[in-house]
Amino acid sequence: MDGRVGLRASRRAAPTPRVAVRSSPRHRARSGSGLGKENKAGSSTPLRHRPNAFSELDNATPRVMLRRIIQNQPQVSPLALQTVQLEETEDAQPEPPSQRTSSTVELQLPDLVPEDASVTTFRMTRKRKKLSISEFERAADKRLPQNQAHSTLDSTLVRSLRMSVGSVMAPDTVEKRGLLRRPQNHKAIDIAAFEGGVEQNMLQIKAQDYLVDLQTSSMTGTTTIRTDAEVVLNNTELFVEPQLGEQNLLAVEPQLSDSKTSAQRSNTSYPAHEKARLEGLVSRVSTDERRTLRFSEKDLITDHEHVDGITQKTPAKQGEEEQDHSQQNDPMEQFSESEEMAGTTQHHADAEYSEHSEKKLSRKAVSQLTAAQDAGVEMEMTPSEGGVAEGTEHQDSPKAELQMAGSPGGHSPASYSLEKPGAKPLKEAVEQTGEIERGTITGVLDAAEEEATDDESDIEDHESEEISMKTPMFVHAAAYRPQPVLSPPHPVKSASPELPPQPVRAKPVPKSSGAAQRKTREPEIASSLIKQIFSHYVKTPVTRDAYKIVEKCSERYFKQISSDLEAYSQHAGRKTVEMADVELLMRRQGLVTDKMPLHVLVERHLPLEYRKLLIPIAVSGNKVIPCK
């Protein structure tokens, strides 16, 4: 009773007497007979009877009855009974089976009524699932008028029927869902996202690896990661006006200083490598160009240029410049460097890098270094004096280089950093160039021995090449080493610069090949890096052969995109790959569409710091106004 009432609050209260009445055999017989008549005759008379019988039972609305049936009569579908009963008026010809079932149900209904009284809980039986709601509703609708239920009641009945049935169904479905509720993390690998992520992560991880290496080798965490692109970019800008470098330095400085904040920089720098770097590279390149201009004369110096640029900058602008050109030369490096130390860190990074490269160099030939260094120093002195307007800088650059060479030479990075901040020490270093070189050479040897061999032997080759080329200035070597170190992640980019007829690139290329022909090897991405990234995304074990294939694929991929970037920049009549080129490439790849703007991707994949850098630029539509 209570249950029934509770169940149907909107319904009339189920009077017990009604139940008793229903349960009375008389009523049962009546209902049964009535039903039987109905079934057979298909007339509405039984319905009339039934309504009488049921009308007495307030609760005997179709809804309630159905509910009872559902609860108690799994086998018999009340719908059949209801349908038979309700459809009598329409013209449904109850089928004999349905009639029989209806009769049985009819007979059962009175039973259900008393039962229902005792039933207070809703019993859901699985079999009830098979109730056809539409049928039910039809039956309910038919029943309602017969029961003289009010229209409102009808609707409510229908609704309640629906609800009851629905509720019956719901738990089942819910239960089903519950059974199915299993954490399914397996996502189909989105190739585009993976590629983009691989690119970014490769850079990041590459930087991190180098950072780790550097750190382990007692170098500060600044890793000058120079992708091949960066190297190339720097090289391409060899003949850019020297003045740009300084300006860029200044411009870059604020940007870089901001970036120096967190270690994420290094990570972000990698993802944004192609984009942010390009921007930064432009400025850096300009500065590098300055440097390169000075040393363009000397093939050996090509590497030095980068290093020189870094070093020169520092002397010129002492604190700021140091940071700047370290930043400029290696935005990535700087990012990583800045984390640990402001400005000096960068230098340290350079130093570390140079140390890193130095150790590589040691492998090649110390003598080469010495000779190169001597030659480089001399050469550097000459070019610096020659054409660059930065008179003091020239001097400083050799000094700086010396300084840098000295620091990597095994001196504590602190000393290096100390030297960096002051132009004076740099100047003094000039005089001590020879000494420093020697020192650096030893330092290099030490560093080489200290540091563990890298995975990328090609990096070593590059470094050795570069070191031999720019032996005079370890700074150059240091500055340039990051480039070769970075080159493995971007073998394509290093290759692409060779393609275009760019004099800057042409010089370093023949030099490197000539200087390090013994171990000339095309830069490769660290296989460990690829394994790391790939396994991180795949989440399942991967065989070695698979890794090899992935490595080949990624190499080809980077080759292709670097070639594309080169074509795009050339198409725009530029010699430097810029963010516009990268954006164009992404559009062509389908990563950036009308629906998916670039800055959304930036937000998605890049760390926050890079977002601040990139998004306004991306939104500006290839109109980058460098802040000056």
Partner 1 sequence: GSEAAGGEQRELLIQRLRAAVHYTTGALAQDVAEDKGVLFSKQTVAAISEITFRQAENFARDLEMFARHAKRSTITSEDVKLLARRSNSLLKYITQKSDELASSNMEQKEKKKKKSSAAKGRKTEENETPVTESEDSNMA
d(CA 428, CA 624): 40
Is 596 a residue that touches partner 1 (CB under 8 A)?
no
Q: Smallest distance, Å, CB 350 to partner 1?
A: 32
d(CA 204, CA 258): 18
Q: How far is CA 58 from the centre of its chain?
A: 64
Among 527, 563, 599, 612, binds partner 1 (CB under 8 A): 563
Q: Smallest distance, Å, CB 593 to partner 1?
A: 10
Find, among 136, 145, 139, the residue nearest to 51 by Cα: 145
d(CA 597, CA 599): 6
- For residues 416-475, which are near partner 1 according to CB under 8 A? none
Between 126 and 556, name the residue whose CB sits nearer to partner 1: 556
Between 133 and 499, name the residue whose CB sits nearer to partner 1: 499
Between 509 and 529, name the residue whose CB sits nearer to partner 1: 509
Name the segment binding partner 1 (CB under 8 A); options: 148-156, 247-255, 412-420, 558-566: 558-566
d(CA 315, CA 548): 46
Q: Smallest distance, Å, CB 501 to partner 1?
A: 8
Q: Name the region of 607 (left: φ>0; alpha: ψ -120 to 50; beta: rest).
A: beta
- Token pair recorded at residue 30: 């009546």
Among 416, 534, 568, 610, binds partner 1 (CB under 8 A): 568
Contact between 332 and 325 under an 8 Å Cβ cutoff? The reply is no
Name the segment binding partner 1 (CB under 8 A); options: 201-209, 373-381, 486-494, 580-588: 580-588
* Total of residues contacting partner 1 (CB under 8 A): 18
- The Cα-based distances of 390 to 176, 476, 534 in angstroms read 78, 18, 47
Is 566 a residue that touches partner 1 (CB under 8 A)?
yes
Site string for partner 1, 154-193 (x = CB under 8 A): ----------------------------------------
Q: Smallest distance, Å, CB 620 to partner 1?
A: 14
Q: Smallest distance, Å, CB 564 to partner 1?
A: 7
Helices 508-515, 457-469: crossing angle, 10 deg rounding:
110
How many CB atoms lie under 10 A from the CB of residue 422?
A: 16
Phi, psi for 297 (deg, rounded to 5): -60, -35
Q: Smallest distance, Å, CB 571 to partner 1?
A: 5
d(CA 466, CA 520): 11
Is 564 a residue that touches partner 1 (CB under 8 A)?
yes
Among 499, 506, 546, 553, binds partner 1 (CB under 8 A): 499
- For residues 78-97, which are near partner 1 according to CB under 8 A? none
Q: How many helices (H) and strands (E) does the chain have?
A: 33, 0
- Token pair recorded at residue 416: 């290096």
How many CB atoms lie under 10 A from the CB of residue 155?
A: 13
Among 570, 596, 597, 599, binds partner 1 (CB under 8 A): 570
Name the segment binding partner 1 (CB under 8 A); options: 454-462, 515-523, 566-574, 598-606: 566-574
d(CA 584, CA 145): 70
Q: Smallest distance, Å, CB 195 to partner 1?
A: 16
- The Cα-based distances of 413 to 84, 105, 155, 227 in angstroms read 95, 94, 85, 24
d(CA 160, CA 152): 11
- Token pair recorded at residue 18: 């009604």
Is 581 a residue that touches partner 1 (CB under 8 A)?
yes
Among 573, 625, 627, 628, binds partner 1 (CB under 8 A): 573
Is 618 a residue that touches partner 1 (CB under 8 A)?
no
Q: Smallest distance, Å, CB 601 to partner 1?
A: 17
Contact between 486 and 214 under an 8 Å Cβ cutoff? The reply is no
Q: Smallest distance, Å, CB 388 to partner 1?
A: 31
Q: Smallest distance, Å, CB 577 to partner 1?
A: 11
Between 123 and 571, name the residue whose CB sits nearer to partner 1: 571
Phi, psi for 107 (deg, rounded to 5): -60, -35
Among 580, 582, 602, 618, binds partner 1 (CB under 8 A): 580
Largest CA distance in the chain: 125
Name 100's Cβ contacts closer than 8 Å, sequence gap at least 6: 39
Q: Provide the residue count of the chain.
A: 628
- For residues 477-496, which are near partner 1 according to CB under 8 A? 496
Between 232 and 301, name the residue whose CB sits nearer to partner 1: 232
Q: Smallest distance, Å, CB 179 to partner 1?
A: 41
Is 355 a residue that touches partner 1 (CB under 8 A)?
no
What ranges make up the beta strands (E) of 531-595?
A: none
Name the segment binding partner 1 (CB under 8 A); options: 199-207, 431-439, 506-514, 576-584: 576-584
d(CA 201, CA 4): 64
Between 381 and 585, name the residue whose CB sits nearer to partner 1: 585
Contact between 368 and 474 under an 8 Å Cβ cutoff? The reply is no
Among 500, 514, 597, 626, binds partner 1 (CB under 8 A): 500
Is 524 a residue that touches partner 1 (CB under 8 A)?
no
d(CA 590, CA 190): 13
Give the binding site for partner 1 (CB under 8 A): 496, 499-500, 563-564, 566-568, 570-573, 580-581, 584, 587-588, 622
